[in-house]
Chain A
Amino acid sequence: MDHVIIKVEGLRKEYHIGEMTVHALRKVDMEIRQGEFVAIMGASGSGKSTMLNILGCLDKPSGGDYMLDGVNMRKLNKNQLAGLRNSKLGFIFQSYNLLPRTTALENVELPLYYNSKVKAKERKERAIHALEQVGLGDRFHHMPNQLSGGQQQRVAIARSLVNDPVVILADEATGNLDTRTSYEIMELFQKLNDNGKTIVFVTHEPDIARFMKRNIIFRDGRIQREVAVENRFSATELIAKLPKEDDTDFLSA
């Protein structure tokens, strides 16, 4: 069996708002292995984003252990966590989070600027390669506001890929996109996973979760159940079945 990339034990996260305590995560155990494509599912407010943010080392848990690629996160300081985000993690946001007035290429280069081992020439080459991988080989010098939502999300995916992370974490990455564009993004994720990338994908949409191999369903800060996806969707096939012209009747159906 492939080795464990993410291992979470008894993970807790509480928010204190005045007198009130919100239990966003209550003792979560989870394991994700190399090459997996996992959906974290659940209703809004069930703790999915909280979970993903902790996995992405953007936030600290209140308790419990998190081992990423064999390293226990609890033992690391802020700078070490930043180093880890830079070298092992790729994060994709629902709202893309690209730097405005900055070309696609420079946006993708961004993580490598914080890696002093990568020289300027290599940085550019890797960014070009990442953009080509996500199908934006002809959009290097476009600014975010000159790109469609789907294209902006592709730039964000290229940015998450550029440092060759051990795992890609995506939070509602298709949440702002229409059906066809969502499928196209899912096609890209499936392709990346086929090539061996480990991906954890947060979504509240059951339809989207069917593109992954395994679903972990959250409820009220706990894992409610886990299922292996049967009859997994293939994005390529679904796109082929869509009408050629973008048809609004189909979208609302």
Chain B
Amino acid sequence: MNYTNLTKIAINALKRNKFRAFLTMLGIIIGVGSVIGMLSIGEGSKKSIQQEISSMGSNMIFVMPGSQRRGGVQMGRSDAKSLTLSDISQLKKEAMYLSAISPQVSASGQAIKGNKNWPTTMYGVDASYLDIRKYELEDGRIFTEREIKSLGKVCLIGKTVTENLFGENVDPIGQTVRFNGIPFKIIGTLKEKGQNQMGMDQDDMLIAPYTSVQRRILAITHIQTIYASAVSEEKSDAAIDEIIAILRKNHKLEADAESDFEVRSQSEMIQTFSSISNMLTTLLGAIAGISLLVGGIGIMNIMYVSVTERTKEIGLRMSVGGRGNDILVQFLIEAVLLSLSGGLIGILFGLLISYIATTLLNFPLVIMVQAIVISFLVCSVIGIFFGWYPARKAAGLNPIDALRHE
């Protein structure tokens, strides 16, 4: 058998029927492209949520007052005040799986500088808060233990607040802003963090010692939230158990009493959101699978019809000396060329869809190798099989029967 000649014959036959070749390839292109595109959108959304959550903090665990087990009903005042500074010192003393602990109290209000004002939130925290929440100092310094003890009127300022009070390219360090009427000296600036996935501006904030916010602004003694970092992600669950045990002991709760606080962790949030986006990926995958199926049926149809249509051509080729095998190899080469080039174009098409969609949706671009391999294989196998199978039948005919085929 002369493969060079048969390849030439196959290429000429494809050139003769460019439109049919295009239609066959289109099925493959759409099949492969949609699988790659859909799965990459699904996977991208998952990645995006994961990144979002992990940017919230490092192995972060937070404790809120009250209990969600009561059906989400607003808790009474005693519940809302259940966390105190004594909890913090007890955790610092006893917890083994926590690398950092910070209280948080927050107050919203007006920040004023000269004739400009800006509504924002002031967070009262400990120095370790920055590490826990993955905020970074851009310039200046964080407040000291002494400033915390002495209810220091100092603060760190987020980019958004700086821009709205001072304008761009102004160094606010050393200046004073008034928050809810109290002057705070700016001692440091925070690095820009941008918006989170919910569209919340994470740079619209002031950070001050928790003592100052507690007493000077809110006039309270309890704390609103405890933030902590587990020593590692694997120890996150152990850290949660530990926190629960320490706080229950500190709150003097009976063994059968419900906790008056709620512990949540970042990894738990990741799991929750992952399971949602896994559902999304499954759904998109199912749609992609259906389009692959439809594409596959399209390929089958065109391949099958075109071979049947070409039985006369097969008869002619046999009448001038083509052997059954020559015919078979020709059709196989045609099917392989169509399937592979369709598959490759489909991959490019899929990557293009992925790129455009993830750019528009602001997801990270995740290229799913399995999606590429599987869809390419499925389409190629279908294309090649349905090019080969009817050709094999036709090649087994008597030349005269093939020629007479209508």
Contact = CB atoms under 8 A, between A and B. Distances in A.
Interface of A: 53, 56-60, 78-79, 82-83, 85-87, 91, 93, 97, 99-102, 106, 110-111, 113-116, 159, 163
A82 B5 CA distance: 16
Nearest to A117: B2
19 contacts: A57-B399, A58-B318, A58-B398, A60-B398, A79-B324, A79-B325, A82-B323, A86-B322, A91-B320, A97-B319, A99-B316, A101-B16, A102-B16, A110-B316, A114-B2, A116-B1, A116-B2, A116-B5, A159-B320
A102 B58 CA distance: 69
B322 A114 contact: yes
Nearest to B326: A114
Contact of B321 (A53, A87, A100, A102): A87
B82 to A, nearest CB: 84
A189 B11 CA distance: 34
Contact of B398 (A59, A91, A115): A59
Given A60-B398, A113-B8, A116-B5, A78 B324 contact: yes
A85 B315 CA distance: 12
B75 interface: no
B175 interface: no
B242 interface: no
Interface in B301-320: 312-313, 316-320
A170 to B, nearest CB: 13
Contacts of A87: 321
Could you say which of A78, A82, A99 has the most chain B C-beta atoms within 10 Å of its C-beta?
A82
A97 B326 CA distance: 19
B96 interface: no
B16 A97 contact: no
B9 interface: yes
Contacts of A101: 16-17
A97 B403 contact: yes
A53 B400 contact: yes
Contacts of B316: 97, 99, 110
Contacts of B232: none
A247 B312 CA distance: 36
B221 interface: no
Contacts of A53: 400
A99 B17 CA distance: 12
B90 interface: no
A111 B2 contact: no
A239 to B, nearest CB: 30
A179 B154 CA distance: 112
Nearest to B6: A113
B399 A58 contact: yes
A214 to B, nearest CB: 25
Interface residues of B, number: 26
Contacts of A59: 398-400
B403 A78 contact: no
A91 B321 contact: no
Interface in B1-52: 1-2, 5-6, 8-9, 12, 16-17
B403 A58 contact: yes
Nearest to B395: A78
A82 B322 contact: yes
A28 to B, nearest CB: 17
A87 B320 CA distance: 9
A57 B398 CA distance: 10
Contacts of A114: 2, 5, 317, 320-323, 326
A159 B320 CA distance: 9
B319 A85 contact: yes
Contacts of A93: 403
A99 B324 CA distance: 18
Contacts of B321: 82-83, 85-87, 111, 114-115, 163
A244 B326 CA distance: 48
Nearest to B316: A97
Nearest to B312: A97
A60 B400 CA distance: 10
Contacts of B5: 113-114, 116
A85 B324 CA distance: 13
B327 to A, nearest CB: 10
A110 B400 contact: no
A113 B325 CA distance: 14
Given A58-B403, A100-B16, A102-B16, A111 B320 contact: yes
A152 to B, nearest CB: 13
Could you say which of A58, A85, A86, A111 has the most chain B C-beta atoms within 10 Å of its C-beta?
A58
Could you say which of B1, B312, B313, B320 has the most chain A C-beta atoms within 10 Å of its C-beta?
B320
A82 B318 contact: yes
Could you say which of B313, B317, B319 has the most chain A C-beta atoms within 10 Å of its C-beta?
B319
B324 to A, nearest CB: 6
Contacts of B1: 116
A86 B320 CA distance: 5
B406 to A, nearest CB: 12
Contacts of A163: 320-321
B313 A56 contact: no
Contacts of A111: 320-321
A181 B135 CA distance: 93
A53 B315 CA distance: 12
Contacts of A60: 398
Given A99-B16, A102-B12, A116-B2, 7 more contacts: A53-B400, A58-B398, A82-B323, A85-B399, A97-B319, A110-B317, A114-B320
